[in-house]
Each structure stands twice: as C-alpha cells, then as structure tokens.
Amino acid sequence: MLDVAIIGCGVVGAAAAYELSHYPLHVAVLEAENDVADGTTKANSAILHAGYDPEPGTQMARLNVQGVALAKEICARLDVPYRQCGSLVLALSQAELPHLKKLYANGVANGVPGIRLLTAEETLAMEPQLAPTVAGALFAPSAAIVSPWEFALAMAEVAVRNGVELYRSTPVTNIEKIDGGWQLTTPNGSFAARYVVNAAGLNAQAIHEMAAPHTFTLEPTRGEYYLLDKSEGNRVNHVIFQCPNENGKGVLVTPTVHGNLLVGPNAQPVAGDDTACTADGLAFVAATARRSVPGIRFGESIRNFAGVRANVDTGDFVIGETDGAPGFIDLAGMKSPGLSSAPAVAKEVTKILAAHNDLPESKTDYKDGRTRVRFKELPPEQKAELIAKNPAYGRVICRCETITEGEILDALQSEIPAVSIDGVKRRCNAGMGRCQGGFCGPRVLELISKTRGIDPLDVLQDKAGTNVLLCETKTGRGCNHG
C-alpha cells in the first residue's frame, strides 16, 4: 500500500510531491494527461503575487505570502526562470485611490514586505508607458514573474529523482474506502493508499465527491490572453494591474520571463475546462489593457490562449482533511493565487501527516537541485566546450528562440521526458518564438520519432489524440506511407 497517492500533477500536486519526497514515504502521483501541468498550470498570468489581494485571515492570504517566499528559494535551487520585477496596481482615476488604500491595508495585515503607495508622478517615473491619467499606484516589490510550467516540472522531476512514482495518462475514475486507506481505480490498474491528496484542479470537486459528500462547488471561470512578440517585451518593466473588481484581479500587462509581453485575462464563467478564445473576450482584453498601457501594439501578437480558474463558492482555498473521510486531503478551489501559494499549500499536507504521527524524520540523503542547458545564454567559450563534447549543441533547430538539437534531446531524455511536440516546447522553448513552431515543428517531430523509437504518425502535438501526421492507409483510404 502506498503511503500517499496524489491525484493530479499541476503545480499543486507537483509541489506536494516535492515536499513529500523529502521524507522516507512511498508516494505516487497519478496524472490524467500524458504530461505534467497540462491543466490550469500551463495557462495563467505567471505571476507570483505579493499577497495584498486576499482578505486578511483567509487561507489564501497566509499561504500566498508564505508561498511566494518559498517559490523564490525553490526557483533558485531548481533553475526555474524567475524574475522579481515587482508589481504596480494602478488607480486610473482619483475615484480609485481609496481602493489602493484598502489593498495597502490588506498587504500590511497579510505581512507583505515593502509595499508602498506611490503618487502619479512616482508611478509614471517608474513606468513611462502608462496612461497619463494614472492617479497613483500600489507598489509591491516582492511580486515576481515565473515560468509556471517549468516550476511544476522542476518540482516533479526532483520528486521523481527522490523516489516518487509518477504515472502519466492515469486518470482516477473511482475511489473506495478500504481498511486503513483508500482504493483508487484507473485504466492502468488500482492503487491503494493510506492518504489521498486531491490536487485535481478543475476536477477536484468530482474527485472529492468520489470519496465524501458534497462540500464545495467549483465555478470554472475562463481567462483569455494575448502573448506578444519580444518586440513588445520591454513595453513595461513591472506587472501592471488595474484595481481588482468582483471578477478578480482584472486585466494586467506584464513582461514574461521569456522576454515577451503578456496581456489578459478576462473572466468568463464556462462549463468545465473550456479553453476556447473568443473574439469578444479578446477585444475586451485589448480595450481594457489599453486603459493602463495605451501604446501596446496588438499586431505583434504571436499567440492567444485561455486558462480556466477553479473558482469556488467557499471564497477561499479548500485545504485539509475532509470530515468523515479520514486520510482524504483536499487541495481544491486553487484559483489565483494558487500558483503563488503552491509550495506553502504543499506544507499543509506534511502538517496533516505530522498531526497523525505519520510523518517520519526527513531523509538525510536527499538529492536536491537541478540545472538545464540554455545554450544561447552561455558565454562563447562554454558554447564551444559543449559542442566539442556533443555536436548536437552546435545544430540550431528553433531559429526564433535559438534552441539547439542538444537541448531538444535533453528534453526527450530528462527525468520526466517529453512525449509530444508541445512537451518539448514547454521544456526547452523550441517552438515558442514568433513562428510558433512553423519552422522547427517538423524537425522536432523527427527527433521525437527517432529518440522514442516510434512511427512519425504516432507523434503527438500535445494531448492524446493530437497526432500531427495522418496516413490514409491508417484510415483505410490507401496512401503509400512507407
């Protein structure tokens, strides 16, 4: 029997796995998709929020502030792209200034370090591209931008290195109480575990209700984005928020750790994980963003995408052991700031195990740390050394992002190897540039096929069923695929 089964490997499940892997426990992560963090964690604003938004006294307030500090350390340790650029919440009129004071008071109560209110002049001096109507701002220097996907991957990789078992393409379809724990059913067999951690994101309500009576309702709310080319990447230097409203933190404009500009999201209630982008939604995002940064050139957009928030009717994260279901731990309702809070949320799991006297002493031989080659960032002599050792680093495959064959092979042979073209993209950025994989996609497909020893027809763009190439013989229409 497993000690702990974690359902879902988004940033919350990955953080729980990383935290638990520090202890001599038998832990498995069961993930429905063929890769880690293929849900909300891959499509959000990528901000480690400072923590002035949540109401003081909530789980969100406490875990956000703790989580951001932990995330900073983890990103440094695990070589995850992270930049503490700070954030500004703008008052776009005199009428909005009281709102900034309320956020400031929240921030002080929540223990957010270094926040201060700025005058209009101070704000415009920091960000000259802002609308001249700006009346003031709340500055939070601890806010940061991150690669959310790599953050989750890095924690999952180190967890796996330290003995956590990761089962991909393994959706949990049923949960039953058994003597001393729980039995989880999946298409890949059953798993018995003393503790179950429900980190299933938008599916967390359904998973909860497999084990216990209804206690919370998720209210999926979609947010749509523009990702702009690097030519717009320096438009602003901080994360630029508007005053939040009943729909959340509003439309923001932010640099990304990869050097692009990200603009969004709106807030649209949807059924389930509907990540479609809509003309109306994007028009709203562009018009609203221009209120804070009028000069954004949306013609430089290289991609639109959407993510779905696991908003919840309780108004706060749902964290803890469920009444009447001993050993069943919810990490649910992980709406924003769920990314920022994830490492602190993970520590709640170890606290629960400790309260049951089920947390052993931590391992003394833990294998922490992680690095990956980012060829284009290396000085010339290190590039030459690397190519001499492995000529694959001398062949540039993704011309937009200058990603080499060596880095793509690293992605395909890592601790949690990529199994799709998008899996490669997320691991090493090949295909992330302005052509969005138009040039390098076929070469990446070939490398996946060779490295994994699979037919090119079986190479996926992303999730199961997204095969890139079609052969008519397979569909009974008689082409001559050889």
Ligand X SMILES: Cc1cc2nc3c(=O)[nH]c(=O)nc-3n(C[C@H](O)[C@H](O)[C@H](O)COP(=O)(O)OP(=O)(O)OC[C@H]3O[C@@H](n4cnc5c(N)ncnc54)[C@H](O)[C@@H]3O)c2cc1C
Q: Report 356-385 residues binding ligand X (CB under 6 A).
A: none
Choices 2-10, 19-27, 384-392, 431-439 (CB under 6 A): range interacting with ligand X: 2-10
x-or-dash string of contact with ligand X, 16-35, rule CB under 6 A:
--------------xxxx--
x-or-dash string of contact with ligand X, 278-317, rule CB under 6 A:
-----------------------------xxx--------
Q: Nearest distance from residue 321's CB to ligand X, in Å?
A: 17
Q: Nearest distance from residue 33's CB to ligand X, in Å?
A: 4
Specify whether the backbone of 139 is left (phi greater than 0), alpha (psi in -120 to 50) or beta: beta
x-or-dash string of contact with ligand X, 251-270, rule CB under 6 A:
--------------x-----
By the rule CB under 6 A, 218 interacts with ligand X? no
Closer Cβ to ligand X, 83 or 434, answer by number: 83
Beta strands 27-30 and 2-7, pairing class? parallel
CB contact at 8 A, 329 and 211: no
Q: Nearest distance from residue 440's CB to ligand X, in Å?
A: 26
Transcribe 213-251 into DSSP letters.
-----EEEEEEEEEEE-GGGTTS-SSEEEEPPBTTBS--
Instruction: Give me the catalytic one of 22, 26, 49, 481.
Output: 49
Size of the site for ligand X (CB under 6 A): 41
Q: Nearest distance from residue 333's CB to ligand X, in Å?
A: 9
Choices 89-97, 119-127, 196-204, 285-293 (CB under 6 A): range interacting with ligand X: 196-204
CB contact at 8 A, 393 and 407: yes
Residue 363: which residues within 8 A CB-CB, separation 6 or more?
22, 23, 24, 162
By the rule CB under 6 A, 59 interacts with ligand X? no
Helix locations, 83-233, DSSP H: 97-110, 120-126, 148-161, 204-211
Beta strands in 112-188 (DSSP E): 116-119, 136-140, 144-146, 165-167, 174-178, 181-186
Token pair, residue 358, equals 């089920």
By the rule CB under 6 A, 201 interacts with ligand X? yes
Residues forming beta bridges with residue 118, ordered by sequence position? 137
Token pair, residue 258, equals 């990869």
Specify whether the backbone of 340 is left (phi greater than 0), alpha (psi in -120 to 50) or beta: alpha
Choices 44-52, 84-92, 226-234, 286-294 (CB under 6 A): range interacting with ligand X: 44-52
Closer Cβ to ligand X, 51 or 406, answer by number: 51
State which of residues 21, 34, 40, 420 lies at the interface with ligand X (CB under 6 A): 40
x-or-dash string of contact with ligand X, 331-360, rule CB under 6 A:
---xxxxxxx--------------------
Measured between alpha carbons, how far is 75 from 311 in angstroms, rounded to an integer? 26
CB contact at 8 A, 183 and 192: yes
Measured between alpha carbons, how far is 259 from 242 in angstroms, rounded to an integer? 22
State which of residues 45, 87, 106, 147 lies at the interface with ligand X (CB under 6 A): 45
Closer Cβ to ligand X, 40 or 404, answer by number: 40
* Annotation marks residue 258 as catalytic: no
Q: Nearest distance from residue 393's CB to ligand X, in Å?
A: 31
State which of residues 4, 5, 6, 9 lies at the interface with ligand X (CB under 6 A): 9
Q: How many CB atoms lie within 10 A of CB 482?
A: 5
Q: How many CB atoms lie within 10 A of CB 295?
A: 10
Contact residues toward ligand X (CB under 6 A) are 7-13, 30-33, 37-41, 44-47, 49, 171-172, 199-203, 207, 223, 265, 307-309, 334-340
Catalytic residue set: 49
